[in-house]
């Protein structure tokens, strides 16, 4: 049994992970920005008698992180696992997205993880044990157009995680990164709903790509299962690609030079559609011009 702190549990991967880890006998501190506005997890925990303690935590706010940590330590003197899951995303061209969007995503997806990590490290270092699991994305290693804020924040999280792993190893603390592909979560809907008209024609391709990938219906529970394996020590890998499309996407990118990858943005529509079909993505039905 482990004491586990998870950020971003209101829906998606965080929600599924909190439930699965609790069902497996762990004490879960499930955090979210507005617990009073989201009773689904609380109701489920009560109905299933799951050991889930729901706390308020905004990863972009220093005081909120400190307060949440104080509440966790009120319940227990040992923090075994931190799962940095809270994340947001938007889709659009660098020129057309407001600078505030870049700041918002970097603050949540990257600096939020840094804040929470710094909050648990003193306790983990003193107890000479612990595990920090950062939920990154295939987008942290495969950089796609119209996803600059998200990919940048996840790439930063990847670099941070590797640096951290080297630093904390002498204290018996493990760091792991989970890299989901396109997962069927509310984040996908939020990204699409924010899209506006653009002077950049390839935005249609980007939307079609994510729509076709979403058709695979990769559930957040699949990501939760990968996290459980890390918690249980069944997976000892540092990077853990997760989902049916994650390894193919990473392999597809690795098979191309940087120059060819960038040049692919200039191929004609039929060639691009065939490239996507090679990844088992039926984008044609989402192309408006088709």
pLDDT at 290: 46
Burial 156-180 (b: 16+ CB within 10 A, else e): bbbebbeebbeebeeeebbbbbbbb
Residue 265 lies in a domain: no
Number of domains observed in the structure of the chain: 1
Catalytic residues: 10, 136, 150, 154
pLDDT tens by residue, 47-63: 999 999 999 999 999 99
Distance of CA 220 to the CA centre of its chain: 10
Note whether residue 124 is domain-resident.
yes
Beta bridge partners of 27: 3
Does residue 263 belong to any structural domain of this protein? no
Q: In this structure, what CATH number is given to the domain that contains residue 227? A: 3.40.50.720
* pLDDT the model gives residue 289: 54
Q: Under the phi-then-psi rule, with left for phi > 0, alpha for psi from -120 to 50, and beta for the rest, what region is 49?
A: left
| pLDDT < 50: residue spans in the chain | 191, 193, 290
Which residues have C-beta within 8 Å of that of residue 24, sequence separation ≥ 6?
Answer: 228, 232
pLDDT at 233: 95
- Residue 267 falls within a domain, yes or no? no
* Domain residue limits at 156: 3-193+217-245
Residue 189: predicted pLDDT: 58
The answer as to whether 183 is a domain residue is yes
Task: Measure CA of the first residue to CA of the last residue in the chain; give whole Å.
Answer: 54
Environment class of 129 (CB within 10 Å of its CB; exposed 0-12, middle 13-18, buried 19+): middle
Question: Is 227 within the bounds of a domain?
Answer: yes
Decide if 282 is inside a domain.
no
pLDDT digits (tens, 9 = 90+) for 125-144: 999 999 999 999 999 999 99
Answer whether residue 270 is part of any domain.
Answer: no
């Amino acid at each position: 049994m482990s004491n586990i702190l998870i950020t971003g549990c209101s829906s998606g991967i965080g929600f599924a992970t909190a439930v699965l880890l609790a069902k497996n006998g762990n004490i879960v501190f499930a955090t979210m920005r507005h617990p009073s506005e989201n009773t689904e997890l609380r109701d489920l925990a009560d109905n299933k008698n799951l050991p889930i303690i729901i706390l308020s935590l905004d990863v972009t706010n220093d005081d909120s992180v400190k307060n949440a940590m104080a509440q966790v330590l009120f319940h227990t003197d040992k923090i075994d696992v931190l799962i940095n899951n809270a994340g947001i995303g938007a889709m659009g061209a660098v020129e057309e997205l407001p600078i505030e969007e870049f700041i918002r995503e970097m603050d949540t997806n990257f600096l939020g993880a840094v804040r929470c990590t710094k909050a648990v490290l003193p306790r983990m270092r003193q107890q000479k044990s612990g595990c920090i699991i950062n939920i990154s994305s295939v987008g942290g290693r495969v950089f796609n157009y119209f996803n600059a804020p998200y990919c940048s924040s996840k790439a930063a999280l990847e670099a941070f995680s590797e640096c951290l792993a080297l630093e904390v190893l002498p204290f018996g603390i493990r760091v792991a990164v989970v890299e989901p592909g396109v997962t069927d979560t509310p984040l996908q809907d939020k990204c699409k709903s924010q899209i506006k008209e653009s002077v950049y024609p390839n935005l249609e391709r980007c939307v079609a790509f994510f729509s076709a990938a979403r058709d695979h219906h990769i559930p957040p529970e699949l990501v939760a299962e990968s996290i459980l394996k890390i918690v249980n020590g069944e997976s000892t890998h540092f990077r853990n690609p997760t989902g049916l499309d994650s390894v193919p996407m990473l392999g597809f990118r690795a098979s191309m030079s940087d120059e060819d990858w960038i040049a692919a943005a200039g191929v004609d529509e039929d060639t691009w559609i065939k490239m996507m079909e090679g990844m088992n993505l039926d984008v044609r039905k989402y192309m408006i011009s088709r």
